[in-house]
């Protein structure tokens, strides 16, 4: 996604880490993550509010700007989640577990990592993430001809799940990733697709 260079992503993640480390429990916005973890707020938002947000942004902005704004919804939600559940940052997890635990526990989705590309040292360079029962797309009626993937916020959620944890712990490899939503499910039971790229 244009504008999401390594430098831009790193700056954003460091700002989120600053928010998390200085989090004060009375912060109203961060409390939403507690509801996120129990699915008491995020589900109604996805079903009732998000379609209006999506329609408004894709109509008001050109394609790239709308996509950036939609993805930021997910980036912010992860920041709030880690602020109120800091134990998640310290929990030992392998690469796939960082994404899969939240997908299963909070988003009721299942992830499959496919088409992995590795360098000569067998380090991951990129892969596809196939999403079954996408949190957003499984809750809407059939839609067609959408140029901007409907579930872009989830790409932001997953990207920040890894990057915040990586820069907080300072010992993870890869250090930074970018995740872009490539395809949204068009019919119930179909899958969504994200592209994960290792930045460094």
Domain ranges across the chain: 6-198
CA distance 47 to 37: 17
- CATH of 6-198 given 2.30.30.40, 3.30.565.10, 3.30.1380.20, 2.60.40.10: 3.30.1380.20
Q: What is the pLDDT of residues 132-146, one digit of tens each?
A: 988 888 766 655 556
**pLDDT at 117 (0 to 100):** 97
> What are the CA-CA distances from residue 72 to residues 170, 183, 186 (Å)?
23, 18, 23
Residues 6+ apart with CB under 8 A from 17: 164, 167, 168
What's the rounded Cα separation, in Å, for the pair 192 and 182?
A: 8
21-76 per-position pLDDT tens digit: 998 765 555 455 555 555 555 666 667 788 888 889 988 999 999 999 999 999 99
pTM exceeds 0.75: yes
């Amino acid at each position: 996604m244009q504008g999401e260079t390594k430098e831009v992503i790193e700056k954003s993640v460091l700002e989120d880490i600053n928010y998390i480390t200085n989090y004060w429990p009375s912060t109203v916005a961060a409390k939403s993550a507690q509801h996120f973890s129990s699915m008491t707020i995020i589900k109604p938002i996805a079903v009732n509010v998000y379609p209006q947000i999506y329609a408004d942004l894709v109509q008001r902005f050109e394609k790239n700007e709308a996509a950036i704004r939609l993805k930021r919804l997910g980036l912010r939600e992860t920041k709030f989640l880690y602020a109120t559940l800091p134990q998640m940052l310290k929990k030992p997890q392998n690469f796939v577990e960082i994404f899969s635990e939240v997908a299963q526990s909070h988003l009721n989705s299942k992830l499959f990592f496919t088409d992995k590309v590795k360098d000569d040292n067998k380090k991951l360079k990129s892969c596809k993430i196939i999403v079954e029962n996408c949190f957003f797309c499984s809750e809407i009626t059939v839609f067609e001809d959408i140029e901007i993937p409907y579930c872009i916020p989830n790409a932001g959620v997953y990207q920040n799940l890894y990057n915040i944890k990586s820069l907080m712990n300072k010992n993870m490899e890869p250090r930074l990733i970018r995740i872009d939503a490539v395809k949204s499910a068009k019919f119930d039971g179909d899958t969504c697709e994200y592209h994960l790229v290792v930045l460094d």
